[in-house]
Every structure is written in structure tokens, then in C-alpha cells.
Amino acid sequence: MATIISSAQNTLVLTLLNDTLLQVDYNTLSGNMPQTYGNYLAIWQDNQGVIPYNQTAQNTTPVSGNTQAGSTTFPVTSLNTNGYVVCFAVGKQLTTPAQTYGNACSTAFLPPGSGPVTYAPGSLTYYSNGTNNLNLSYALPMGDMPSTNGAWVGLWNGTLASYTSAPTAGAAAITSTSSSGIAFINGISLGRGATYTAALFPSGWNASTPAASLLTSMAATVTFQI
């Protein structure tokens, strides 16, 4: 078993300013540049708090600025007493056959009526390892289909995952269509006492050249010591 050192996710907090305007306070991963990397917000009417991936969002808005954390206003269609789900996406909208909103990684649910907002950030946790393999538990918004969207996990030596340098210790596609499950990185060498950081990406896997997989749609990280 490994020792978990830290974990990180992209999170958001909603404040209802009026029936056509939300304030969104977001805190993303270290090194993220929201505007450059195409981060955006989207909203749907849904009473269960689940992104309806087959429906066009009622409103979307890009996140401006390149600071890791910040605040933005999100103009929306007039909100009524139905439920609404808001997502924070870590990359641009995807094209067929991927899900259009497959880069969504964190959600906030405004329930019907006036109940409290419920938050569900995407996550990545250490699950287990062998001498030459690592198993990671991942979670993305319900309804997300990781393998369809080119989701993957990468592994770096040390305490940071990188937005600019390919994984140094291993990488693998997520082969499941389930929004949560186990991701496997096989054929690697894990050093005793060594520290590693793994990262979850909801899109961008390059099957022919894994080292060229897109690094900018990072959803969550976990750092651990073997």
C-alpha cells in the first residue's frame, strides 16, 4: 500500500445573484490557465443533478483569465423553481463520436425549490499497485463516457503533474464507458520509497503516440509514496 500525500480537484461554488445571473467562484488545479486551455461553464435544467449529455446546454460561457482560481459571473436563461445542473469543463467542447460536453469535470446542482446547492467534483484516488502496475479510482460526472471521450490517466515522478511535459512514469487510456471506476497503468516500474503524482484527463488520449496526449484538460490529481 502507498502513503497518500495529497489530492486535488477542480471545484466551484455558486451564488445566485438574481434569476438571470449566477456568480461562480472556481478553484482549479495548480498550473491551469482557464482561458488558454478553453475552460467553460454550462447549465441545463435537470431535476436530478445529472448533466443531460444528449441535450444542448441552455447557456455556456468561457472562463476568462489565466489565474488558477477566480470568480466570474454567468448569465443564464431566467431560472425558475426547477432544478439546474452547472458544470465546469476543463477543455473545449468535443466533436463526434465523443460527447460534446465530455470535458465536464465538476458539477453543482441547484435542486428544485430552494434547497442547498450540492457539489460533485471529479476525483482521482490511489487504489492499489503491484511491482509493475498501478490502479487508480476515478470519478467524473454521472453520464460521462470516458473511453468514448478519450479519457486517460498519466503518472509523473515527484509531487506535480504537468500541463506542459508528458508523463515521466507511465500513461494509459481509460477503457471503460462508466463515469466512475478503476483505471489501470500496466508495464511500469515503481520504485520503493519513490513519490509519484497521477492525473486524470477526461479527453485527449493519443493512442498512436501516448506521449503526445493532450495535457491541458486535467481534472484531478493524487500524489502518493510507494
pTM value surpassing 0.75: yes
User: Is pLDDT above 90 for 88?
Assistant: yes
Instruction: Show me where the domains of the chain are located.
Output: 9-121, 123-225
CATH architecture observed for domain 9-121: Sandwich (2.60)
Confidence of residue 78 (pLDDT cuts 50, 70, 90): confident
Residue 110, number of CB atoms within 10 A of its CB:
24
Rounded-to-integer distance, Cα 173 and Cα 49, Å: 27
Cα angle value 91/104/185 (rounded, 5°): 85
181-190: burial string, b at 16+ Cβ within 10 Å, e else: bebbbeebeb
Q: Do domains 9-121 and 123-225 have the same CATH topology?
A: yes
The mean pLDDT of 96-111, rounded to a whole number, is 97
The mean pLDDT of 102-126, rounded to a whole number, is 95
Rounded-to-integer distance, Cα 189 and Cα 32, Å: 28
Identify the CATH class of 123-225. mainly beta
Confidence (pLDDT) at 115? 87
pLDDT in tens, 142-177: 999 999 999 999 999 999 999 999 999 999 999 999
